[in-house]
Amino acid sequence: MDINDKARIHWACRRGMLELDISIMPFFRFEYDGLSDSDKQLFIQLLAHPDPDLFNWLMNHGEPDEPGLKRIVCLIRERNKQRGAVAI
């Protein structure tokens, strides 16, 4: 997926679990444009993973083995914590 195709990325952010939507959608809305191209690519790679993996990683029940994905998961957790609760 092209890092500049925001409509497709936005669609890929929509998941089947409310907990994931609450984590992923605000990060995409508020942070994606400020990411480097390499971090945008990592975010897109992260979205290719199944919901159960994303849930575990984003809810702090584990982490990806790949260092880049681990870094983007930590960034999502950190930025969401700093921002606090937002409406999706």
| Structural fold of domain 6-83 | DNA polymerase; domain 1 (1.10.150)
DSSP H stretches of helix in the chain: 6-13, 18-31, 37-47, 51-58, 67-83
Residue-wise burial string across 19-33, b where 16 or more C-beta atoms lie within 10 A, e elsewhere: ebebbbbbbbeebbe
pTM reported for the whole predicted model: 0.90
Q: Which two tokens stand for residue 42?
A: 């990592």
Say which residues have a Cβ less than 8 Å from residue 22's Cβ, sequence separation at least 6: 88
Q: What is the pLDDT along the chain (88 residues), one digit of tens a residue?
A: 899 999 999 999 999 899 999 999 999 999 999 999 999 999 999 999 999 999 999 999 999 999 999 999 999 999 999 988 665 5
